[in-house]
Amino acid sequence: MAFEITARDPGSRARAGVLRTAHGDIHTPAFVPLATKGFVRGVAPAEVAALGYEMVLGNTFHLWLAPGHALVAQLGGLHGFMGWSGPIISDSGGFQVFSMGHGTVADEIKGRAPSGAVRAGAVLAVDEHGVRFRSYLDGTEHELTPELAMEIQAALGSDIALVLDECTPFHIAREETDRSTERTHRWLDRCLRWHADHRPSTQLVYGIVQGGVYEDLRRASTSAVAATGCDGIAIGGSLGRDKEQMHEVVGWATAELDREHDERPRHLLGIGEIDDLIAGVQLGIDTFDCAMPTRLGRHGMALVPDPEARWRVNLQGARWRESTEPIMAGCPCPACGAGHTRGWLRHLLHQAEPLAGRLLTLHNLAFVARVMEDLRSGIAAGRLQEVAQALQAGASPGGL
């Protein structure tokens, strides 16, 4: 058994556990920082580990296009390539491919979109076989199939692979969502078949629940994914127009899993704002990944215990010009721990000094790590509701 549940919260669906992989254990619930292209932007893998993180997430789509999975395999797999000895989960690339086609191009892609003669990436066709698209890097055509997504992840050597899913935009009709979800289930079977035939040693495989914002489709998709032999269950796709709907949609999936007494690990894809982490844990999610803490840091935003301001402060603001305050009192991160002031960090930001993004990324990751630590220990001590309420009321994370 790869996952052991060690404690359950009597007042919610939350659970704490240990997820065992070939490269070590992950204590859950846990947040997983993004190493999308084989690096966590701005910070060294050892610094991520020093903040208490046990797993990072690499992306199949990006690593396939650059530098290519064959080269990553040649250079020691993703672990050896990026110098991360702990567990790695790899996203299948479904979201990245399909977000090109929906006009809501993910920021990470947009940032690299070529200008001028070469057109930015686009989905050319989706059919039963797979998805054909034009690369955002050089305009060349590629096809990603369920089998290829698994082959790439086997070459990357990730500890947890995700199956290829079709991601639909939020606003599409029920009928189209239904058709797409059914295709995702067929792709799941093909992914699992490829994995069984090639058995990349110790790699675990997570299926992905789709079904959009339709309760019956979400529940049916959860049931269909759970009926397969996948090692864990990820929740993906459109989760709704706002937080309220997102929590409802996630709740349908975890309620369905609880009803079936499913004890496999559960991952929520692409969600990681502080209030969503708290709600997700209470809904029975074990791991989360999100660009939020690292992306905010690169844009001059620091996480602080201020729920009214969505737990963030813009350090570029003029009000910090003469500030001698740290980002957050009592924070042990390399920025706050060294006594760096908001006034100085604002200056770095205005000088476009990369050190600012680096220090804010470290601070934000430290903040999220402490929130997750508090939630984990809250579950273990049987006082999750108290911890969640304190965080929601603006308490500083760390030792709550």
What residues line the site for Zn ion (CB under 5 A)?
327, 331, 333, 335-336, 363
Rounded to a whole number of angstroms, the minimum distance from the CB of residue 36 to Zn ion is 23
Rounded to a whole number of angstroms, the minimum distance from the CB of residue 313 to Zn ion is 12
HSE-up of residue 199 (Cα within 13 Å, Cβ side):
3
Rounded to a whole number of angstroms, the minimum distance from the CB of residue 341 to Zn ion is 12
Q: Which is nearer to Zn ion, 245 or 341 (CB)?
A: 341
- Tokens 């979109």, residue located: 113
DSSP state of 112: T
Q: Which is nearer to Zn ion, 342 or 376 (CB)?
A: 342
Contact 298, 360 (CB under 8 A): yes
Rounded to a whole number of angstroms, the minimum distance from the CB of residue 398 to Zn ion is 10
Rounded to a whole number of angstroms, the minimum distance from the CB of residue 360 to Zn ion is 9
Contact 161, 195 (CB under 8 A): yes
Strand order in the sheet with 30-32: 30-32, 287-289, 266-268, 232-235, 204-209, 160-162, 88-91, 56-59
Contact 21, 117 (CB under 8 A): no
- Tokens 């208490």, residue located: 52
Residue 3 dihedral angles phi and psi, to the nearest 5°: -130, 130
H-assigned helices in the chain: 45-50, 60-65, 69-74, 77-82, 94-101, 107-110, 146-156, 174-198, 215-226, 243-259, 274-282, 292-298, 334-337, 342-350, 354-380, 384-392
Cα angle 194-198-203, degrees, rounded to a multiple of 5: 90
DSSP state of 127: -
Rounded to a whole number of angstroms, the minimum distance from the CB of residue 365 to Zn ion is 9
Q: Which is nearer to Zn ion, 1 or 338 (CB)?
A: 338
Query: Using CA atoms, how far apart are residues 162 and 153, in angstroms rounded to an integer?
Result: 8
Buried b (16+ CB within 10 A) or exposed e, 124-149: eebeeebbbbbbbbeeeebebbbbbb
Q: Which is nearer to Zn ion, 160 or 335 (CB)?
A: 335
Q: Which residues are catalytic?
A: 91, 289
Q: Which is nearer to Zn ion, 37 or 363 (CB)?
A: 363
Strand pairing class (204-209; 232-235) = parallel
How many other β-carbons are positioned within 10 Å of the β-carbon of residue 322? Answer: 10
HSE-up of residue 67 (Cα within 13 Å, Cβ side):
12
Q: Which is nearer to Zn ion, 148 or 345 (CB)?
A: 345
Rounded to a whole number of angstroms, the minimum distance from the CB of residue 297 to Zn ion is 11
Q: Which is nearer to Zn ion, 100 or 315 (CB)?
A: 315
